[in-house]
């Protein structure tokens, strides 16, 4: 079964626009769980422009599903993960001021760094996923540094889905095969949506988890969060 982890960053962005607590990020996360979401994802950034460190601590105390914290592995970030001990940490190569993730790790060139981080996170009892492009060499390298999973960066698939979906998904099918061959779990995320998720899931049956935020929260503005999560779960049930 492929699990749906809802990224709630955009809810925090809306809250922060007024400086108060509406919408309530913690309440929203719990509601997503009650609607059937099997995980909650957050990406705290140094400037706290959406998710705040205080949110991370509060979420840890109330979530009943898998908690995934993603971010660049700065010392502050790693210390936060060690304190909270979520089910999973997803390592992304984003710069502190970056708007959103736009590439996977060059794991080969950063092997020493990532190996030490994997060891440190495992000591805290946290599963490690590394954000990568669908490139066999990088996936094999992720296994070599001690990762438990990789998360495939799916923007290229989303951008090309409407043009030629078979060609768009082909590199991801191969990446899935390589991950299975070396013994890595498989996650995916970035620009997955109600339009393209079902086909992606059908073509990658070994997919463990998808993390979806922007499209899902945008859909909820039209459909409501209950119906939106129902539809995303339906895409993963095909």
Give, for all 238 residues of the chain, the pLDDT tens digit: 999 999 999 999 999 999 899 999 999 999 999 999 999 999 999 999 999 999 999 999 999 999 999 999 999 999 999 999 999 999 999 776 655 667 899 999 999 999 999 999 999 999 999 999 999 999 999 999 999 999 999 999 999 999 999 999 999 999 999 999 999 999 999 999 999 999 999 999 999 999 999 999 999 999 999 999 999 999 999 6
Listed residue (106, 144, 147) closest to 126, CA to CA:
147
- In the numeric block, the tokens 């092997």 are attached to 111
Q: Where are the alpha helices (DSSP H) in the chain?
A: 9-16, 25-34, 53-62, 75-84, 111-123, 136-145, 155-160, 165-182, 197-203, 214-223, 225-235
Write phi, then psi, for 90 (nearest 5 degrees). -110, 120
Active site (annotated) includes residue 31: no
Among the listed residues 43, 50, 151, 209, the single catalytic one is: 43
Taking only the tens place, the pLDDT of each residue in 134-193 is 999 999 999 999 999 999 999 999 999 999 999 999 999 999 999 999 999 999 999 999
Active site (annotated) includes residue 70: yes
And the tokens for 47? 């400037």
Helices 136-145 and 111-123, axial angle in degrees (round to 10) = 50
- In three-state secondary structure terms, 205 is coil
CA distances from 67 to 61, 93, 120, 140, 159 (A): 11, 20, 18, 26, 28
H or E element in which residue 89 lies: strand 88-91
Beta carbons of 93 and 131 less than 8 angstroms apart: yes
Among the listed residues 33, 50, 151, 190, the single catalytic one is: 190
Domain that holds residue 77: 3-235
- Of the chain, the percentage scoring pLDDT greater than 70 comes to 97
User: What total number of domains does the chain contain?
Assistant: 1
Among the listed residues 70, 151, 201, 209, the single catalytic one is: 70
Question: Is residue 5 left, alpha or beta, with left meaning phi > 0 and alpha meaning psi from -120 to 50?
Answer: beta
Indicate which CATH number applies to the domain containing 41: 3.20.20.70
Write phi, then psi, for 97 (nearest 5 degrees). -95, 10
Beta carbons of 23 and 9 less than 8 angstroms apart: no
Active site (annotated) includes residue 201: no
Output Rg (C-alpha) for the chain, integer angstroms: 17
DSSP 2: P
């Amino acid at each position: 079964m492929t699990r749906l982890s809802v990224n709630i960053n955009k809810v925090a962005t809306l809250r922060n626009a007024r400086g108060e607590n509406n919408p309530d990020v913690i309440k929203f996360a719990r509601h997503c769980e009650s609607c059937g979401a099997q995980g909650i994802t957050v990406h705290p950034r140094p400037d706290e422009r959406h998710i705040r460190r205080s949110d991370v601590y509060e979420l840890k105390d109330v979530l009943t599903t898998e908690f995934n914290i993603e971010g660049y592995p700065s010392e502050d970030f790693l210390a936060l993960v060690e304190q909270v001990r979520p089910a999973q940490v997803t390592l992304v190569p984003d710069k502190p001021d970056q708007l959103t993730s736009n590439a996977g790790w060059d794991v080969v060139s950063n092997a020493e760094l990532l190996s030490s981080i994997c060891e440190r996170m495992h000591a805290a009892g946290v599963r490690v996923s590394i954000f990568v492009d669908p490139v066999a060499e990088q996936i094999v390298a992720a296994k070599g540094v001690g990762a438990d999973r990789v998360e495939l960066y799916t923007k290229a698939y989303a951008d090309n889905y409407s043009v030629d979906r078979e060609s768009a998904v082909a590199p991801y099918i191969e990446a899935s095969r390589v991950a299975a061959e070396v013994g890595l779990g498989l996650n995916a995320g970035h620009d997955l949506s109600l339009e393209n998720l079902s086909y992606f899931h059908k073509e990658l049956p070994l997919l463990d988890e998808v993390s979806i935020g922007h499209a899902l929260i945008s859909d909820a503005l039209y459909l409501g969060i209950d119906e939106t999560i129902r539809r995303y779960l339906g895409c993963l049930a095909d």
